[in-house]
Amino acid sequence: MTEHEKAVAAGEGVKWAWPAVHPEGRKFALISAAVVAAFWVIGWTFISWLFVGLTIWILAFFRDPIRSVPQDPNAIVAPADGMVTLIQTVMPPKEISGGDGLAEEPVVRVSIFMSVFDVHINRSPIAGIVRKIEYIPGKFLNADLDKASEDNERQHFLVERADGVKIGFTQIAGLVARRIVPFSKVGDTVTAGERVGLIRFGSRVDVYFPKGTAPKVALGQRCVAGETILGVIGDSAAAVAITQ
């Protein structure tokens, strides 16, 4: 248990602290730091300082902050940090629909775009068992585009609750992203807000809601992975928001 978790459990206040760096990013930071040292030794100090900046950015990109996850069993929490750029009614991906997957009928899809400045650790929207993980190679179009859901490199997840309710979500690589890294595998039991993977370096996550569930977020809203409630299963009243 971390110091943060101990303080929360004891009912004490918590203090801000530097977030940890995920192990996936440490090797890149070490490589960049080694380049800094090499250029410094040969006297190319200007280039060395450029790589100092790159090292700091890598550490920031792979930061893995602690999140306080809502414990409402019907809450669908955001799987990614970023901005809600699309809310549409679409057919779910064929890779995770039909048979023992999502129903083959239109559902609400909420898309969260992650810039290179957002945390890129992705989390499960609900608690349950990972029933499917399907990786699809593809293009590297701007992840902001609607067709990125069908054309880009992507990885589909299907998580099923104990009562049979299923949620699908998709990690989508973007213009800069070149690898989707899973942390979970089929058959794993995950909790809501649990880390399930990451995408390098700027991308998008789509979430497919169960039938009869409306979004509680609005276009342009910023989401925090594991904390922001995207919707409440079975609640068909959509959120109303004003941009100002």
| The residue type at 210 | P
Under DSSP, the state recorded for 96 is G
How many angstroms separate the CA atoms of 49 and 36, rounded?
7
Query: What is the enclosing helix (H) or strand (E) of 223?
Result: strand 222-223
How many angstroms separate the CA atoms of 208 and 158, rounded?
10
| The residue type at 83 | M
The tokens 């940090």 sit on which residue?
81
Which position among 97, 124, 184, 203 bears the catalytic label?
203
How many angstroms separate the CA atoms of 218 and 203, rounded?
19
Residue 203 annotated in active site: yes
In angstroms, what CA-CA distances link 116 with 159, 173, 201, 204? 27, 12, 6, 11
Under DSSP, the state recorded for 126 is S
Catalytic residues: 203
